Structures are given as C-alpha cells and as structure tokens.
Chains A and B, each alone.
Chain A
C-alpha cells in the first residue's frame, strides 16, 4: 500500500465534511478496528510455533526442563482455552496493562512509552524535511508542466520512489559516517545530530512520493475552469497560483500527508534498525525476533492507534482549512 498512494483518489469535498455525529462515528470505528486488530494478532500469536513459557525461561538464563515449562504454562494460563486467554488479555489491556515483555522482563507499557517520543520526533522531523522539499518542487513541476524542469523533477522523484529506503540509509551511512566521519554510526545518543541521518533517509523516500502527489493535486486545480477565467480577466499568474490554486489543492495534500504517516511509521522500523536509533520500530523488530508476543501486540495496537488518531485529526482539520466547511457547519 505504501508507494502507491500518489494515485489516491481525491474525495469530493462534501464527503470530507465532518459533523459532530461523524466524528463520534469515526471514534467508534477506531475502537472497533483496535478490537479487530487485537483479536487478529492474538490469534496469530496463539497459533505461532513459539512457546512463551519456554522463551521466558530461556531468556532468564534457565535451561528449560519439561516440567518447569509446564508449570510456568499452567501458572501463566497458557493452557486455558483461546477465548479465555484472549478476554483475560483484553480485560487487562483495557485497564492499560499490556502484560510483561518476556524478553526484557519489564511491563510492555513502560517499554513502549520510553520509545514513543524518539519515534514521534523522528517522524515529525522527517515530515518537516519532506514538506520543505516536496511543496516547492511539486508546485514548480506542475506550473512548468511538460518542460525540462518538470521532466527532471519527475525523473528524480521516479528514482526516489523506486529506491529501497534501507539502501538509501546504508549509502548515507557509508558516505557521511564511514567515509567523511561527519555523523556517528550509531544514532542512539538522542541528540539532534544523531537524528539527522535517520530523518533524511526517511524524508528522501517520502519526498519523492509526496512531490508527485503535490504535482498531481496542483495540476488538477490548474486545469479547472476558474483558472482559465481568472487568466482571461487578466489576473496575475502569481496571484492565481498562490491565492487560488495553492489554497484549493491544500485539502488533498493534507489527506495524503495523513496517509503518509502510515508508511512513515512502518518505514521507521527499517531506518531505526540501520542507525540503531532507540525508537518504537527498533524495539518492535527486537520483539519480533525474540518472539516477545506481548510486546509485539502492544506495539501493533499502539501504532494503529497513533495512525488512526492522526488521520482523524487530519480530517477534523478540514473544517478549519476549508471555508466551505465552515459555512456548511
């Protein structure tokens, strides 16, 4: 799904209108999705080959014997029927208790909270970088449609969309950390400097895609009748572009910005691993590698929640961005 959002269908503005009732419906929908996702991942971990009791014993340094594993399974309730286990877990989760991480022996919530801010910081910073690059480039490309400028921008973005982000990260690391020694190889310091390369890596892939989306959105507006009308009346091209076209293409652009948070949250995992950045994605990869089911579940649900809440906020923000919606309210 990522990488193809540039042909995301433009919604009609009426569909975006959010009344209070619709916002409540959306919140209910988010809750339902979270339940669905939690059930799906729980089922998956239930069916998975790994045995949590065995993993726990092994990670605490005990050579697991048959009887020790069985005793632990019994005491942790892993011998209960599936639905009993699921609803027990769900009940605890609703109270904010996602259980203990088997491999790190800490509460899942504590681990996730500690990693949440670094990942959000990384995501936000790369989004800012992405906007700085894509907005001007995309608009330039649209205004100069089918000239050499447009072709160059499209060529670059095309290559950018086709590049694996982990490869970009490795190449940046090779050049800036290993050869030039400007940045540290391990970006776990939490300083601003350690955040630069990971964000640039994320921003490159995202900018390529977003530049294309900006171009499409602006072109769409440029071909509207009112632009021809304004030109016929002799309105300056610059005014048309910044007063009308830009404002009108903001809506699809904000939608796509919200959607791209999804690929960012997924993409951070790869980038965080490459740069040893202490974020959620890095934690998740470690959790998956060591079959730490509680932690995996917590991570998946948290990311889902963050993503959906951000997109809800994006949709609510239309009400403030678009004057038509203010009228309709």
Chain B
C-alpha cells in the first residue's frame, strides 16, 4: 500500500503539487480569520485610506481604509464557495436530468434536451448577465444565473454517456433478470457516466470562477462591502492612477486561484482519461 501511494505521487507529480496547493487554498479560506490575525475585512478607518503597501498593510488599504490583504484572503471564501456551488448545482441538476432522459427517453427526454439545446446554442455569459441583473445583484443570484446556463452542458454529456451503454447486452441481461429502474440507474447508468462528468466539472471550476468574478465586476454579483475579487477590482478602478495596488492584488488572487484549479482539472483528466491529448 505504501509503495503504491509513493508511485502514484511520482507518476503524477504536477497533479499532486496542484492538489496540495488547492488544499492549501481551501484551508486559507476556511481559516481566514487566523491567517489575517483577526482583522475584520469590512472594517477600516478613513484616516488609513489608500495607504500604499507597507509594513502595517502588506497589500495596502482601499478608499475606506480597509486592509487589502485581509480582503483578498476573505475573498477566497466568496470565490471558492460561489464557484463550487455553481459546479455542484449544474453537475447535480445536469447529471440527474441527463441520466434520466438518456435512460427513459420518450417525451421527457425530448423536452429536457430541447431546453438544453436551446441554452447551448447561445452565448452563456450574455444570458447569465441578463439573469443575474434581472434577479438583482447578489452572489446567490450570480451563482443561480451561471448555473442556469451551465447545467445543459452536463445534461447533454450525461445523456450521451448513458445512451452509449443503454443498448448493450449486459444491460439487457440485467433488465431481463428483473433489475428495477432505480437499481439500473444507480448501479449501471450513473457509474458509467460519472468519471467523464467529474473530469468536466474539475476543468470547469477555473472558468466558472472567472465568469463569477466578471459578473461581480460588472455589478451583477457581490455587493459592497463583501470582499469579492471582481468587485474589489471594480471599486479600485477609479483609483487606478494613484493607487494601482487596489487593482494588482485582487487580480493576482484570481489569476493564481484559477491557474491552480485549471492545472488540477487538467491533471485529473490526464489520470482518469489517459486517451485524451491535451
């Protein structure tokens, strides 16, 4: 067992490195109060407004005198929970509907898939923008909006994977020997579809994070004083000339986080799906 673990690490060095980085990132988000030594991300005093990076505030402060480092660290909570919620929602809904429509076909399949086709043949961000804007600006609505335009991808994928095995002989054999629908779905259809779906979900986290930050940047996501990276960039825009640090650090935070999750997704794909050439 020990041997096996060691060789897994050696064979997938990049994946393991980024896995550790991702875990570190999640730990940072969870233990944000410890990392920032108890500073409140929403509190600041106006006499400390727009201080450049220095010993007291290593990333500087914003127009309200709030510590940028603290806000960037707390921002990871918002970004991670939002992106993971979108992935979870679209993965859950998409997989459920996709597997059901692939297995049962018929009228349900036709309706679900026509809706999915409609959503896919359409630039997602545009619709997400409209949905988030109309529902009103909040992180929750931004998550809903992105999930609304993302689930069809999973539904279509899950359905096509189920269709691939549905008519195999061993499936027919299981039905003949009296397997019930629920058992067929859980025991045969779902396990067959899951690996590919998980790979897709993992490679999606990074880009979904970018979309969510973009929505917040436009004012259709997080609202002040939430420490959210996209929102922080949008707030720092006005001070570009005098206080460029307001823009540099939240942007770097997004970049680093997205790189880590993209690498993680690619690594996972290489492990689970060796046929794929990336």
Contacts A288-B129, A296-B134 given; indicate if A164 touches B153 (C-beta within 8 A): no
A41 with B255: CB separation less than 8 A = no
Q: Shortest CB–CB separation between residue B155 and chain A, in angstroms?
A: 13
B203 with A166: CB separation less than 8 A = no
Could you say which interface size class chain A belongs to?
Answer: 35 or more
Could you say which interface size class chain B belongs to?
Answer: 35 or more
Question: Residue B123 contacts which of A159, A164, A171, A307 (CB distance < 8 angstroms)?
Answer: A307
A262 with B124: CB separation less than 8 A = yes
Q: Which residue of B lies closest to A173 (CB)?
A: B240
Question: Residue A265 contacts which of B123, B133, B213, B214 (CB distance < 8 angstroms)?
Answer: B123
> Which residues in window 120-150 of B have CB below 8 A to A?
120-127, 129-131, 133-136, 149-150
Residue B167 at the A interface, CB < 8 A?
no
Residue A226 at the B interface, CB < 8 A?
no
Question: Residue A300 contacts which of B130, B204, B211, B217 (CB distance < 8 angstroms)?
Answer: B130
Contacting residues, chain A, for B153 (C-beta < 8 A): 1
> Which residues in window 171-213 of B have CB below 8 A to A?
200, 203-204, 206-207, 210-211, 213
Q: Shortest CB–CB separation between residue A310 and chain B, in angstroms?
A: 11
A269 with B129: CB separation less than 8 A = yes
Q: Shortest CB–CB separation between residue B162 and chain A, in angstroms?
A: 17
> Which residues in window 1-47 of A have CB below 8 A to B?
1-4, 7, 29, 32-33, 36-37, 41, 44-45
Contacting residues, chain A, for B203 (C-beta < 8 A): 4, 7
Question: Residue B240 contacts which of A4, A161, A174, A261 (CB distance < 8 angstroms)?
Answer: A174
Residue B7 at the A interface, CB < 8 A?
no
Q: Shortest CB–CB separation between residue B49 and chain A, in angstroms?
A: 20
Which of A41, A166, A291, A293 has most B Cβ within 10 Å? A166
Contacting residues, chain A, for B247 (C-beta < 8 A): 167, 170-171, 174
Q: Shortest CB–CB separation between residue A130 and chain B, in angstroms?
A: 17
The contact sample of 14 A-B pairs, CB cut-off 8 A, is A2-B207, A36-B115, A162-B255, A165-B214, A167-B233, A167-B247, A170-B240, A170-B251, A174-B247, A216-B277, A262-B123, A265-B126, A266-B123, A308-B121
B interface with A by C-beta (< 8 Å)? 114-115, 117-118, 120-127, 129-131, 133-136, 149-150, 153, 200, 203-204, 206-207, 210-211, 213-214, 217-220, 230, 233-234, 237, 240-241, 244, 247, 251, 254-255, 258-259, 262-263, 276-278
Please give 18 more A-B residue pairs, beta carbons under 8 A apart, in addition to A1-B120, A262-B124. Answer: A29-B121, A32-B114, A32-B118, A36-B114, A36-B118, A162-B210, A162-B255, A163-B255, A164-B255, A164-B258, A167-B251, A262-B122, A265-B126, A266-B123, A269-B129, A296-B134, A304-B126, A308-B122
A interface with B by C-beta (< 8 Å)? 1-4, 7, 29, 32-33, 36-37, 41, 44-45, 48-50, 158-159, 161-167, 170-171, 173-174, 178, 216, 219-220, 261-263, 265-267, 269-270, 273-274, 284-285, 288-289, 291, 293, 296, 299-300, 303-304, 307-308, 311
